[in-house]
Amino acid sequence: MSFGSYLAGSIELIVVAAALGFGAVRLRARLLPGWSGAPARLAELVLGLSTLVVVLELVGVVGLYRPGWVLAAAILAGVGIGLGAGRRNGRGVSLPAPRVAPIALGVATAAALLVAAHWAMPTQTGLDIGMYLPNTTWHNAPFAARFVQEGQVGALHMTEVLKLTVWFYPQNSELLHSAGILFLGSDFLSPLMNIGWMSLCLLAAWCFGRPYAAGAIAVLATAVIVDAEMLLLFQGGDAKNDTAGLFFLLASAALLVNGDAQARAAAASARTLHSGGPPLRPQLPRGVLVVAALAAGLALGTKLNLLAPFGLLTLGVIFVARSGDRIRTAVIWVAASLVTGGFWFARNLVEAGNPLPWADRGPLPGPEQFEIDIREPFTVSDYLTDRGVIRDYFIPGLNDSFGVLWPLVLAAVAGGIVLAIWRGRTTLLRTLGVVALLSGIAYLFTPLTAAGPEGAPSAFEVNLRYASPALALGALLLAVDPWVSRERNQPFAIAGLGVLLLVGLFSGADDVWTGDHLLGGVLLAIFVVGVPVALALAPGAGLPRPAIAVAAALALGLVVGIGWTRSEDYLDDRYRAETAPADFPDGMRSALAWFNEEDPSDARIAVVGGRPGFKQYVFYGDDLSNRVQYVASHAPHGAYLPIAADPEDVADVAACERWKTALNEGGYDYAVIGPDQRAQSFSPVEAVWTGADPAATKLVDDDLIFVFALEGELDPSSCADFAGPLEAEPPREGQAGEPDANSEPGQAATQTNPG
246 and 134 co-located in one domain: yes
| Assigned domain for 578 exists | no
Contacts of 604 (CB under 8 A, 6+ apart): 626, 627, 629, 666, 667, 668, 669, 670
* Confidence (pTM): 0.94
Q: Are residues 234 and 327 in the same domain?
A: yes
157 and 243 housed in the same domain: yes
- Specify whether 593 is located in the same domain as 473: no
* Secondary structure (3-state) at 718: helix
Instruction: Confirm whether 148 is domain-assigned.
Output: yes
Question: What pLDDT score was predicted for residue 726?
Answer: 52
In a domain, residue 747? The reply is no
Low-confidence ranges of the chain (pLDDT < 70): 88-90, 269-281, 374-375, 508-510, 723-755
d(CA 248, CA 253): 9
What is the predicted pLDDT for the residue at 258? 97
The answer to whether residues 222 and 201 touch, using CB atoms and an 8 Å cutoff, is yes
Q: What is the pLDDT of residue 540?
A: 85
Q: What is the DSSP letter of 213?
A: T
Question: Within a domain: residue 456?
Answer: yes
Asked whether residue 400 is assigned to any structural domain, the reply reads yes
Confidence (pLDDT) at 304? 94
Of 515, 540, 575, the one marking the end of a domain is 515
Q: Which domain holds residue 633?
A: 586-721
Task: Quote the Cα angle for 290-292-295, to 5°.
Answer: 110
Residue 540 lies in a domain: no
Looking at the structure, do residues 155 and 269 belong to the same domain, yes or no? yes
Q: In the prediction, which pLDDT does 729 show?
A: 52
607 and 475 in a single domain? The answer is no
pLDDT digits (tens, 9 = 90+) for 585-634: 999 999 999 999 999 999 999 999 999 999 999 999 999 999 999 999 99
Contact 227, 501 (CB under 8 A): yes
529 to 197, 223, 369, 416, 524: CA distances (angstroms): 11, 13, 45, 26, 8
User: Quick check: 37 and 95 in contact, CB under 8 A?
Assistant: yes
18 and 136 co-located in one domain = yes
The answer to whether residues 40 and 123 belong to one domain is yes
**Do 485 and 592 belong together in one domain?**
no
Residue 640 in 3-state DSSP?
Answer: strand
Do 249 and 347 sit in the same domain of this protein?
yes
Is residue 229 within 8 Å of 461, Cβ to Cβ?
Answer: yes
Q: For the chain, what is the domain count?
A: 2
Write phi, then psi, for 98 (nearest 5 degrees).
Answer: -55, 150
Chain centre to alpha carbon of residue 713? 40
Note whether residue 545 is domain-resident. Answer: no
Distances, alpha carbon 109 to alpha carbons 85, 475, 592, in Å? 34, 18, 42
431 and 316 in contact (C-beta within 8 Å)? yes
Within-domain flag for 742: no
- Rounded CA separation 248/270 (Å): 33
Domain edge (last residue) among 482, 499, 515: 515
- Closest C-alpha to 311, from 282, 329, 334: 334
Q: Both ends of the chain: CA-CA distance in Å?
A: 34
Residue after which a domain boundary falls, among 494, 515, 536: 515
- 3-class secondary structure for 585-639? CHHHHHHHHHHHHHCCCCCEEEEECHHHHHCHHHHCCCCCCCEEEECCEEEHHHE
The enclosing domain of 666 has a CATH number of 3.40.50
In this prediction, residue 268 carries a pLDDT of 72
Quick one: 498 and 596 in the same domain? no
**Which pLDDT does position 743 carry in this prediction?**
42
| The predicted structure's pLDDT at residue 362 | 76
Tell me, yes or no, whether 511 and 590 share the same domain: no
